[in-house]
Structures are given as structure tokens and as C-alpha cells.
């Protein structure tokens, strides 16, 4: 990795419009179609009374696969999404024109395990600059250890409690889910091209990490917020294991609303292997 090129990397401002159709496709790919006859679920799927899923913010202002730029000299095939934080400043409109400003905020050298690269995305309404959301993306470059530290890193996420969860919810992923989710903007070939997933040491193309986070957002709204999007204020997750299409996920929660909910997700069919860990959400 060329550290100097990374820390001075300049992103173009993203100018993006999304439609009701985009919001519905996202909801279809993140769990909101699990009860298609329920009116509360249909609010996220039917244009006549559409509400945008709050975690849809995670796909706005996306700068693309910037680590493929040869100037940064990153082995991008071995780069994975490690953590992701989202803070919502207001509910997302059903359709909007937005701007996204991205900047590198820090690098943390983890030696033989690689290096963590953090970048921030500030999303705002295009017409008046009103803030919508702030995202912090943490990527692990598994081949880039020994590069040294630079800048700021977000605070470490805390371990979830060891006590029995206060609530659980199981959701099944589908074989076509990554094919559907990629229509929300993340076209990384590792989610569709078997040759790329093979090169990364995976048995098949995997589900997007942010699709799993979107499912977690849905589970939180369902368990704690009566499917009211406005009640979810922030989320932070750590991706600990790839989710394969067809995995059954069990979301385990500690806490109650209003307040901070700690949670994790495990793949039931993989011996309860954690796929999200050290997670938290703030709900009202």
C-alpha cells in the first residue's frame, strides 16, 4: 500500500438521486419482504405509502471500489469490510437528490493481520445541504501490514454481554440475495463472480456485509421500534465472518427501547458462528 497516496486520496463529490424504486429494491434485499401481507412491512415495499428503510443510508454517497485505483497500490482482492458505523440525522425521504462527501480519516497498522483503513461519508440533501447521515467505513487490507499508523480511528466496539439475550430473531438469507442487493450500488465482483471469490479464498460469492447490516436494521425495527424507521438513530457493527447466500442468521439482542441495544448475529447452519459481533444500536 502506498500510504501517502491513500491519506491524500481525493474523492469526487457524489451527486446522487434515488427513487422510490431504489428504496423498494433495497428493502426487498434486506428482509422487509418476510411478511408480505403485513401492512407495516408493506410500508417499506409499496409506493402508495412508502417509508425508506433507515439503513438505506449505508448505500448513499458510495465512492465505488476506490481501492482498485493503481495509485494506492492496495491488493484490493484481499480487502474486506471490517466495521461500519451509521449515524442518522433525520429520516430518509422516500426519494431524494443527495450529495456524498468522502475522506480518508485514518490507518491502523495491525502487523501480520494487515492494516485497517477508515473513511467517512457525509450525506446531505442536495438542494439545501441539510445533513442526512454520517457513515464511517473500516476496511481491512489483509496484505498491507507494516505500513504504520496515521490519522484517527473510531473508538473500539465493546464486547456483547455473556448473559442470555433479551430477545432473538431468526432470518434466512436467500441464494439470490447478493444478486439483488448489488443493485443498490455495491458492484464488487466478489459478490457475483466465482473466479473473484475463489481468488480471495472463499468457497463462493458472498453476501455483502452491508446487506447483513441492513437485515440487522430490519430486525431491530421489528423487535424494538414497531417498524418505525424514525426511531433508529445509529448503528455500529463488526463483520466477523462472511455470510453465504442461504445462511440462516439469528440476531441476539441485549437491552430495551428506548436506549442502547447491544447485539450480534450468528449463522445457525454454521454452528452458531458469529457473523456480526460487538454491535450496538441507539433507538428511541
Is 77's pLDDT higher than 80? no
Mean pLDDT of the chain: 95
Is 192's pLDDT higher than 90? no
Give the pLDDT score at 189.
82
Confidence tier at 149 by pLDDT (50, 70, 90): very high
Q: Using alpha carbons, select from 271, 262, 13 the residue that is nearest to residue 160.
A: 262
- What's the whole-number mean pLDDT along residues 194-202? 85
Distance (Å) of CA 219 to CA 33, 146, 265: 12, 39, 10
Report the number of distinct structural domains present in the chain. 1
Give the pLDDT score at 190.
83
Beta bridge partners of 139: 81, 117
Range of the domain at 258: 3-283
Is 280's pLDDT higher than 90? yes
pLDDT digits (tens, 9 = 90+) for 88-134: 999 999 999 999 999 999 999 999 999 999 999 999 999 999 999 99
Indicate which CATH number applies to the domain containing 7.
3.10.129.10
Going through the chain in order, the beta strands assigned E by DSSP cover 14-18, 79-88, 96-109, 115-125, 131-141, 150-151, 167-172, 232-239, 248-254, 259-267, 273-283
Is residue 20 within 8 A of residue 50, CB to CB? The reply is yes
Instruction: Kindly give the residue spans of alpha helices, DSSP state H, lying in 117-258.
Output: 177-181, 194-199, 209-224
pTM: 0.93
Q: State percent of the chain over pLDDT 70.
A: 100
Please give the distance of CA 99 from its chain centroid, rounded to a whole number: 19
Give the pLDDT score at 255.
98
Q: Using alpha carbons, select from 83, 65, 70, 82 the residue that is nearest to residue 193.
A: 65
Is residue 23 within 8 A of residue 94, CB to CB? The reply is yes
Amino acid at each position: 500500500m502506498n500510504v501517502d497516496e491513500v491519506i491524500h486520496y481525493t474523492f469526487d463529490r457524489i451527486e446522487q438521486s434515488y427513487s422510490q424504486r431504489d428504496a423498494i429494491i433495497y428493502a426487498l434485499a434486506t428482509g422487509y419482504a418476510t411478511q408480505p401481507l403485513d401492512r407495516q412491512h408493506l410500508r417499506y415495499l409499496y409506493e402508495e405509502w412508502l417509508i425508506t428503510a433507515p439503513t438505506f443510508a449505508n448505500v448513499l454517497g458510495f465512492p465505488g471500489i476506490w481501492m482498485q485505483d493503481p495509485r494506492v497500490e492496495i491488493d484490493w482482492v484481499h480487502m474486506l469490510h471490517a466495521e461500519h458505523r451509521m449515524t442518522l440525522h433525520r429520516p430518509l425521504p422516500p426519494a431524494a437528490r443527495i450529495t456524498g462527501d468522502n475522506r480518508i480519516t485514518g490507518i491502523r497498522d495491525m502487523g501480520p493481520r494487515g492494516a485497517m483503513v477508515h473513511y467517512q461519508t457525509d450525506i446531505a440533501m442536495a438542494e439545501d445541504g441539510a445533513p442526512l447521515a454520517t457513515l464511517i467505513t473500516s476496511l481491512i487490507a489483509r496484505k498491507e501490514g507494516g505500513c504504520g499508523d496515521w490519522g484517527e480511528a473510531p473508538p473500539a466496539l465493546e464486547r456483547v454481554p455473556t448473559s442470555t439475550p433479551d430477545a432473538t430473531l431468526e432470518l434466512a438469507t436467500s441464494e439470490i440475495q447478493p444478486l439483488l442487493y448489488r443493485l443498490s450500488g455495491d458492484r464488487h465482483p466478489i459478490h457475483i463472480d466465482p473466479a473473484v471469490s475463489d481468488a480471495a479464498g472463499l468457497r463462493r460469492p458472498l453476501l455483502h456485509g452491508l446487506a447483513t447490516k441492513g437485515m440487522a436494521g430490519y430486525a431491530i425495527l421489528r423487535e424494538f421500534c414497531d417498524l418505525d424507521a424514525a426511531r433508529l438513530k445509529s448503528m455500529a457493527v463488526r463483520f466477523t465472518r462472511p455470510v453465504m447466500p442461504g445462511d440462516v442468521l439469528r440476531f441476539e439482542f441485549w437491552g430495551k427501547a428506548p436506549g442502547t441495544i447491544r447485539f450480534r448475529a450468528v449463522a445457525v447452519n454454521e454452528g452458531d458462528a458469529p457473523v456480526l459481533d460487538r454491535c450496538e444500536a441507539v433507538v428511541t
